[in-house]
Amino acid sequence: MSSLTFASAHQLAGMIRDRQVSAVEVLDAYLTQIAKHNSKLNAICTLDEDNARTRAKLADEALARGENWGALHGVPITIKDIFETAGLRTTAGYIPLKDYVPQQDATAVARLRAAGAVIMGKTNMAELAANYQSTNSLFPRVNNPWHLDYTPGGSSGGSAAAVAAGLSPLDLGNDFGGSVRQPAHFCGVYGLKPTDRRISTAGQIPEVPGMPLSIRQMMTVGCFARSIEDIQLCFSLIAGADLRRPDVPPIPLDRPSGKPLQHLKIAWSDEWADVPVAAEIRIAMQSMAQKLSNAGVQIEPWIPKEFDLTKIFNLYGRVSAYLNVYAQPVDRYNIRRSLQLIFRTATQGDKELRKLGNFASFLPELLNPTLKGYFEALTQRDRFTACMDEALEPWDVWLCPVAATAAFTHCPAWSAVDVDGKSYPHAVANGIYTIPFNLSGHPAVVIPIGKTENGLPIGMQIVGKRWCEMELLAIASAIDKLVGSWQGSPEFMV
C-alpha cells in the first residue's frame, strides 16, 4: 500500500501508462490512506470519492483503447480549497462560501485535469489564505504529520500535510507571503513559488466571487510534491498565458543550462542579521553549505548590499493593504479579524522586531486608500525588483532559510512565536524570509535539508532569477541530490 501512496506522481503516471497498476488501484490506495489518517490531520476538507472513482475508471478504459490523456493520466491529486473546482465545493475556509460550488475550474486546475489528473478532493487551509497556520471556522485545524500538536504552517497547511503523509502525491497551492514555502518547510516536502504572473490566478480566491479582481501583484500559484521532478512536471503543465488573465505574459519556459554544480556560482545566507533563525536551522544551513563546498561547488556567504528588512516588510505591507482592501466584503467579521491581526503583530513579541512588521503603520491606508498611494507603493516595488534583479545577476541561485523557526505548537492566530527563547512577532517569525521574494517577484523552491532534535523538518529556500524556473529547478534537483532527500513520517508509512 505505502509503495503506491508514497510513490511520486511521475512514477505513478509511468506505472499506470505501462499497465503495471490501474488508475483505480492507485486511487483505492490513496482513499484507504485518507480513511486511515485524515481524521488525525484534517488535511483534506472535501473528499470527492465518487467522481474520482468514475474518472479513474474512465482513465483505465481510455488506456485500454490506446488513448493517453497526458502526463498525469490517471494520477490522483488534491487541490487547495482556494481554487475553484467545477462541481466541487470550494470554500477557502470562509463561512459565506461554505456551500459555494463553482461552475468552472480555476485555470491551473483545468490544466491539471487536461493532463489526465484525477482530483480526489480539496485540502484544508487558513481562512481566505490569511494566516501562517491552517485554521478556519468551517473545518477542524490542520495538524503536522511529524507531530500532531504542531502546526503544518499556512496558509496551505492542508496541502503540505496531505503530501507529507501520503494522502496525495501532488497538490496545488498559492503563495502571497510564504503560503507554499513555509508549510513545505514545516512538513518536510518540496514546494515552489514561481515568478510573479508566471501562472494564471484565474479562479483563485481570496477575491470572494463577485468582488473586483484586486490582487494583481505578488499572488502566485505554486505546488507541493515529494520530489523536485514532480514540481518540474506540475509547473510545466500549469505555467503560461491565459485568455482569462491577459496580464499573464506569453513568455515561454526557459531551457536549463545543463551546467554541473561545480560550474555554478551559488550565494548563501544562514540568516538575516536583524532576524536570526533558530540555532538548529542555522546549523542545518551551515552543514548544507559545507557539503556543497566539499563537493567542489563554488558557494559564498552573501546578502545584497541594499537589503533593508524594515523597508522591505513595510513596503510589502503597504502593497498588500491596497491589493486586499477590495478583495473581500467589508463586514464586521472581516473587520474584527483584520484588527486582531494588526493588534497582535503590533503588541506581541520583541519590541525591536515589532518595528519590522508593524501592520498598524499602514492602517490609515487600509481605512482611506488613495490611487496616488497605490501608485507610489507599486513604483517603490518596481525599484526593489530592479535592485534585486541587479544584485542576483552574478549568481546562479541564492540559498537562504525559509522561516526563523521550524514548526511550532498550535497557538492563537497571530500570537508571538518563541525562537530559541526570544519572542518574535508572528508575521516576522514566519514571513521575514519569504516576503522579500513575493515583493520582488523572484521564484523560489523549498527542499528539505534536515531535522531538528525533536524530529521536525527543516527546509531551505533556493531563489532564482525571474522567468528562469526550469533552470532554478534543475539546480535545485542537483543540490537536493547532495544535501537533501525526502523522508516521510514513519507513522504514516505503515
Taking alpha carbons only, the member of 101, 100, 78, 110 closest to residue 242 is 110
Q: Supply 483's cell numbers.
A: 544535501
11 with 46: CB under 8 angstroms?
A: no
Catalytic residue among 8, 22, 80, 269: 80
Direct distance between the N- and C-terminal alpha carbons of the chain, in angstroms, rounded to an integer: 8
Catalytic one among 134, 179, 227, 269? 179
Instruction: Report helix angle 279-294 to 469-483, nearest 10.
Output: 90
179 in active site = yes
DSSP letters for 296-362: T-EEEE---SS--HHHHHHHHHHHHHHHHTTTS---HHHHHHHHHHHHHHHHSS-HHHHTTT-GGGG
* CB distance 203 to 84 below 8 Å: yes
Question: Helix, strand, or coil here: 190?
Answer: strand
Strands 118-123 and 190-193: unpaired
d(CA 366, CA 480): 42
For residue 4 the three cell numbers come to: 503506491
Q: Which of 8, 134, 155, 440 is catalytic?
A: 155
Is there a contact between 157 and 466 (Cβ–Cβ < 8 Å)?
no
Is 155 labeled as catalytic in the residue annotation?
A: yes
Give the active site residues.
80, 155, 179
